[in-house]
């Protein structure tokens, strides 16, 4: 399994409730001990790439640490990490499109970022930067973070992006997780697309202080259904981490481990990868 990660993505000691900025580094250390992954250096995106999905003045202000990032601070280390975070998703998506199968981008903090503003631990919307860079390929974004992907919708509407289908899940529309899981293959079918970007959000867990509607078993089933669907249809898939805020940080990492285990189980022996 290819994991597109650079240490530039991680920010130590960011002053925020969200542990997202430091999560990739801790997760990678555990993945390297447990799973047969191959870490691949991503290419950072440029300021011009961000401007494909965002207001140029907003992009410039954030990157120069003049405007607040999605954590509500102007930490220059966060600003410096942003091209790498979105770059990880873009690089993983390009790899999956070219080679088929699955790729992982251990990233978070995208879907609340709107065209001209940051929100809720999300600075820039890497999902939409990736989708627009992949044009004219049609991209499906399945957002299984617990929270509504409002920033993604904002950019799709503002820029009239017609190559993206977006589904953002949650207890709002379907309070019964088992029913949602039953419907999930049909949801994926309706979305179509030539590649799936799957936000495997860990804040969907029942014990998450900011969300919660699924048990660990249901979340594992969610992951398995998505990967099995993609495998059966030869639909390339790139997945990322999105939210996860349990005080017991290892519990969050364990949910991401489960996603990785389901991905490896479906996509098979990584040593046979090209
Ligand atoms: Zn969330």
Ligand 1 midpoint to CA 190 (Å) = 24
CA 274 – ligand 1 centroid, Å: 34
Question: Distance from the CA of 152 to the center of ligand 1, in angstroms?
Answer: 13
Cα 271 to middle of ligand 1, angstroms: 33
Q: What is the pLDDT of residues 97-154, one digit of tens each?
A: 999 999 999 999 999 999 999 999 999 999 999 999 999 999 999 999 999 999 999 9
Domain extent at residue 126? 2-272
SS3 33: helix
pLDDT for 23 equals 84
Q: 271 pLDDT exceeds 70? A: no
Q: How far is the CA of 109 from the centre of ligand 1 (A)?
A: 9
pLDDT greater than 60 at residue 171: no
CATH number of the domain within which 186 lies: 3.40.800.20
Would you place residue 174 in the very low, low, confident or very high pLDDT band (cuts 50, 70, 90)? confident
Q: How far is the CA of 201 from the centre of ligand 1 (A)?
A: 7
Q: How far is the CA of 223 from the centre of ligand 1 (A)?
A: 16
CA of 203 to the centre of ligand 1 (A): 6
**Quick one: pLDDT at residue 272?**
53
Provide φ and ψ at 77, rounded to 5°: -65, -40
pLDDT in tens, 180-237: 999 999 999 999 999 999 999 999 999 999 988 999 999 999 999 999 999 999 999 9
Question: For the chain, how many structural domains are there in total?
Answer: 1
Determine the pLDDT at residue 207.
95
Does 13 score more than 60 pLDDT?
no
pTM: 0.95
The more confidently predicted of residues 21 and 36 is 36
Output the pLDDT for position 274.
45
Q: Please say if the pLDDT value at position 77 is more than 80.
A: yes
- What confidence category does residue 42 fall into, taking pLDDT thresholds of 50, 70 and 90? very high
The answer to whether the peptide bond before residue 245 is cis (omega within 30 degrees of 0) is: no
Q: How far is the CA of 200 from the centre of ligand 1 (A)?
A: 10
CA of 145 to the centre of ligand 1 (A): 5
The pLDDT value recorded for residue 185 is 97
| pLDDT(15) > 80 | no
Count of Cβ atoms closer than 10 Å to residue 61 Cβ: 15
Ligand 1 centroid to residue 261 C-alpha, Å: 22
Ligand 1 centroid–CA 120 distance in Å is 8
Written as six digits, the tokens of 101 are: 């199968």
147 CA to centre of ligand 1 in angstroms: 4
| d(CA 28, ligand 1 centre) in Å | 21
Question: Is 90 exceeded by the pLDDT of residue 14?
Answer: no
Residue 63 Cα to ligand 1 middle (Å): 23
Average pLDDT over the chain, rounded to an integer: 93
Task: Say how many Å lie between the CA of residue 244 and the centre of ligand 1.
Answer: 7
Least confident range from 23-37, 67-81, 159-173: namely: 159-173
> 150: closest CA among 65, 246, 70?
70
1 Cα–ligand 1 center, Å? 25
The conformational region for residue 88 under phi > 0 = left, psi -120 to 50 = alpha, else beta, is: alpha
**pLDDT grade for 16, boundaries at 50, 70 and 90:** low
| Residue 235 DSSP code | -
């Amino acid at each position: 399994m290819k994991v597109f990660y650079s240490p530039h993505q991680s920010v130590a000691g960011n002053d925020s409730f969200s542990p997202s900025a430091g999560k990739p580094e801790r997760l990678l250390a555990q993945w390297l001990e447990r799973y047969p992954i191959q870490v691949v250096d991503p290419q950072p995106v440029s300021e011009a790439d961000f401007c494909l999905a965002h207001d140029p003045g907003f992009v410039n202000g954030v990157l120069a640490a003049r405007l607040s990032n999605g954590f509500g601070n102007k930490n220059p280390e966060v600003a410096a990490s942003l091209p790498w975070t979105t770059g990880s998703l873009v690089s993983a998506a390009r790899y999956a499109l070219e080679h088929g199968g699955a790729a992982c981008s251990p990233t978070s903090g995208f879907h609340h970022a709107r065209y001209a503003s940051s929100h809720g631990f999300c600075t820039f919307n890497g999902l939409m930067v990736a989708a627009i860079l992949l044009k004219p390929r049609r991209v499906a974004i399945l957002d299984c973070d617990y929270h509504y992907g409002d920033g993604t919708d904002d950019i799709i509407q503002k820029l009239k992006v017609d190559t993206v289908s977006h589904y953002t899940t949650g207890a709002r529309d379907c309070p019964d997780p088992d029913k949602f899981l039953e419907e999930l293959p049909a949801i994926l079918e309706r979305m179509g697309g030539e590649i799936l970007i799957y936000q495997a959000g860990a804040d969907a867990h029942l014990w998450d202080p900011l969300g919660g509607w699924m048990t660990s078993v249901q979340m594992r089933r969610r992951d398995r259904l998505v990967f099995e669907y993609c495998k059966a249809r030869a639909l390339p898939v790139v997945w990322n981490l999105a939210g996860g805020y349990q005080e017991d940080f290892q519990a969050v990492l364990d949910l991401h481990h489960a996603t990785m285990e389901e991905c490896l189980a479906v996509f098979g022996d990584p040593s046979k990868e090209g």
